[in-house]
């Protein structure tokens, strides 16, 4: 029996990969990360919208594709491999999951319809729930929100933001509302944007009350962690591919360095460690929609394990390139830094492993 992506999932994945190869070469990515080529960035976003990535998890009855998380996981691998400078995990994965599990019937219909037509895009700020920081507490009451939240994901092209307090209560805030201050966060990863948002008696639409919204936020975090792992998986594969290609071209002592045993071992070790991660991530995505009892545990294991393996791959792939690996000329650092930040987004391996231990009653 074959266990892997279906033909449709591979087809969707390959379309995204080919689009990024054709429309977003490394030179374009460099300019976008330097604040240039913003029109190109908008065109790239619209191109991916045309491919349907915004509709993957939206029901067909609301104009979406009605697909499962495994499709989104396949797409995320391509986005990581192509170091896409575009939003995905927040507006097109976590937000639909929250709406599916945490919104009332009328809210669900309206939001899904607007999202399928690209009339509304969400940034997502849930750090208060799973990893709050000092002086960053959010308070939500009487349809008002105050406080601040760190690391709001995917604010590019966002019209609204979803935020959660420490109880898991989720609300939607329009970015046109009064009482919002948005602060840019500087991170090593320049391919994506992260914000700090500060609220002062800002109007918020509550999606649901405590009990059921806790389920919604947990499902959204599970999905986000799986998609995050898939992004690192794609980025890691790109780094391995580049390391192997470079080892076949770079010569030392009149021999290509790929013929040296030490370099062979490094490339083999990276591949051997990364290969099992594919089945881990795919199984986690399958478990998510299969209502498997271990779906939460699998999402934690996928996030934490891939974070560790991709860190190793990023290090060794750079070492294969020698000093050239640290230069802007090759652009290897885009994948390296993306993997590094992915490690901490939605919970570092230490935080996620602690959650996995609690799930198992340890």
* pLDDT number for residue 2: 66
* pLDDT number for residue 210: 43
Task: Kindly list the structural domains of the chain, giving each domain's residue range(s) and its CATH number in brackets, ordered by start.
Answer: 7-115 (1.10.540.10), 121-209 (2.40.110.10), 212-359 (1.20.140.10)
3-state SS, residue 170: strand
Assess contact for 199 and 147: CB atoms under 8 A: yes
* pLDDT number for residue 133: 67
3-state SS, residue 3: coil
Assess contact for 18 and 81: CB atoms under 8 A: no
pLDDT in tens, 211-264: 455 589 999 999 999 999 999 999 999 999 999 999 998 888 888 888 889 999
> How far is it, in rounded angstroms, from Cα 355 to Cα 350?
9
> How far is it, in rounded angstroms, from Cα 53 to Cα 198?
30
Tokens 């690996």: give the residue.
325
3-state SS, residue 188: coil
> How far is it, in rounded angstroms, from Cα 6 to Cα 339?
26
> How far is it, in rounded angstroms, from Cα 112 to Cα 120?
9
Tokens 């977003």: give the residue.
24
Assess contact for 304 and 359: CB atoms under 8 A: no
Q: Lowest-pLDDT range, 131-145, 180-194, 233-247?
A: 131-145
The encoded tokens of residue 20 equal 């990024």
* pLDDT number for residue 128: 86
Nearest to 335 by CA among 246, 250, 242, 249: 242
pTM of the model: 0.94
């Amino acid at each position: 029996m074959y266990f892997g992506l279906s033909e449709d999932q591979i087809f969707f994945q390959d379309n995204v990969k080919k689009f990024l190869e054709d429309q977003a070469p490394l030179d374009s990515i460099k300019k976008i990360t330097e604040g240039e080529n913003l029109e190109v960035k908008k065109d790239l976003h619209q191109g991916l919208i045309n491919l349907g990535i915004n509709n993957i998890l939206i029901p067909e009855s609301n104009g979406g594709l009605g697909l499962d998380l495994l499709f989104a996981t396949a797409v995320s691998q391509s986005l990581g491999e192509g170091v896409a400078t575009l939003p995905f995990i927040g507006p097109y994965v976590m937000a639909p999951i929250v709406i599916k599990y945490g919104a009332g019937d009328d809210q669900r219909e309206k939001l899904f319809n607007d999202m399928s037509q690209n009339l509304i895009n969400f940034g997502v700020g849930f750090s208060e729930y799973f990893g709050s920081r000092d002086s960053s507490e959010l308070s939500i009451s009487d349809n008002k929100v105050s406080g601040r939240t760190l690391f709001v994901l995917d604010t590019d092209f966002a019209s609204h933001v979803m935020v959660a307090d420490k109880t898991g209560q989720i609300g939607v805030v329009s970015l046109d509302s009064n009482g919002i201050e948005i602060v840019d966060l500087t991170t090593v990863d320049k391919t994506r944007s992260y914000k700090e948002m500060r609220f002062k008696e800002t109007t918020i639409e509550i999606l649901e009350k405590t009990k059921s919204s806790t389920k919604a936020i947990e499902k959204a975090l599970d999905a986000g962690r799986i998609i995050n792992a898939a992004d690192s998986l794609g980025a890691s594969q790109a780094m391995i591919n580049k390391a192997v290609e470079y080892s076949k071209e770079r010569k030392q002592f009149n021999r290509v360095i790929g013929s040296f045993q030490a370099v062979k071992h490094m490339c083999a070790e990276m591949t051997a460690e990364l290969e099992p991660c594919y089945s881990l991530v795919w199984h986690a995505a399958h478990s998510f929609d299969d209502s498997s009892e271990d779906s939460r545990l699998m999402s934690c294991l996928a996030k934490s394990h891939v974070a560790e393996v991709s860190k190793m791959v990023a290090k060794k792939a750079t070492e294969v390139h020698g000093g050239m690996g640290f230069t802007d000329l090759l652009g290897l650092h885009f994948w390296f830094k993306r993997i590094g930040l992915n490690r901490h987004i939605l919970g570092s391996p230490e935080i996620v492993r602690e959650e996995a231990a609690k799930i198992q009653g340890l």
